[in-house]
Amino acid sequence: MAFSLRHPSSLLVFIALLGFLSLFRPCACSSRNFLNTSAVVLGTSPAEATWYGNAHGAGSEGNVSNIPVLLATAPFSSTTAAGGPLLYKSGKGCGACYQVSCTSNAACPGGPCASGAVHFDLSGSAFGAMSKPGQEDTLRAAGAIQVQYSTLPCSYPGVNVAFKVDAGSNANYRAVLIIN
């Protein structure tokens, strides 16, 4: 099962990659209550988005065993992200799902929006998927852009979930991949 675009201008970004969230602080998402969110925020909120890794990659391209290979397959399909401190919520935000829409660039299908303190650091693939068809590289060239986001319930019917902790994890860096 792969991520799907509900609209050409929107992308469902799964923020359950605890390893990426540990870029901001080590993730402490051990409670089952924190692994999925069922709250839906009506409307959208402003945020900023940047991207990292290869332009068409899954974000984590380093020497983290086979995590880049796993990120490139369903359900992630290279559309991954790391959330800044306001999304991370000291670990309580781990496992949340978001719909992120590009609005502030000519390569985006939407109009302008206000800047906010919330930040998404998307994989190159996820960042490009927010653009108009054929404008992926133009959007990535913009670097930091304004986006709108909303919290969505996480739903992967028929998908069994497993956790893989990378052998290179330590007290300062934790790479955990949620896979099916």
Does some domain include residue 35? yes
* Beta partners for residue 177, in sequence order: 164
Does some domain include residue 4? no
19-45 per-position pLDDT tens digit: 333 333 332 232 222 222 333 334 788
Residue pair 47/151 in contact by the 8 Å Cβ criterion: no
Does some domain include residue 1? no
pLDDT at 92 over 70: yes
Does some domain include residue 109? yes
Expressed as residue numbers, the domain containing 73 is 10-179
Strand order in the sheet with 119-123: 10-14, 97-102, 145-152, 45-52, 119-123, 81-83
User: d(Cα 128, Cα 150) in Å, to the nearest integer?
Assistant: 19
Higher local confidence (pLDDT), 122 or 154: 122
User: pTM of this prediction?
Assistant: 0.50
Please tell me the total count of domains within the chain: 1
Does some domain include residue 21? yes
Mean pLDDT of the chain: 64
Does some domain include residue 15? yes
Does some domain include residue 173? yes
The pLDDT score that the predictor gives to residue 134 is 93
125-163 per-position pLDDT tens digit: 888 888 889 999 999 898 888 888 888 887 767 767 676
Does some domain include residue 126? yes
User: d(Cα 14, Cα 88) in Å, to the nearest integer?
Assistant: 13
CATH of the domain at 34: 2.40.40.10
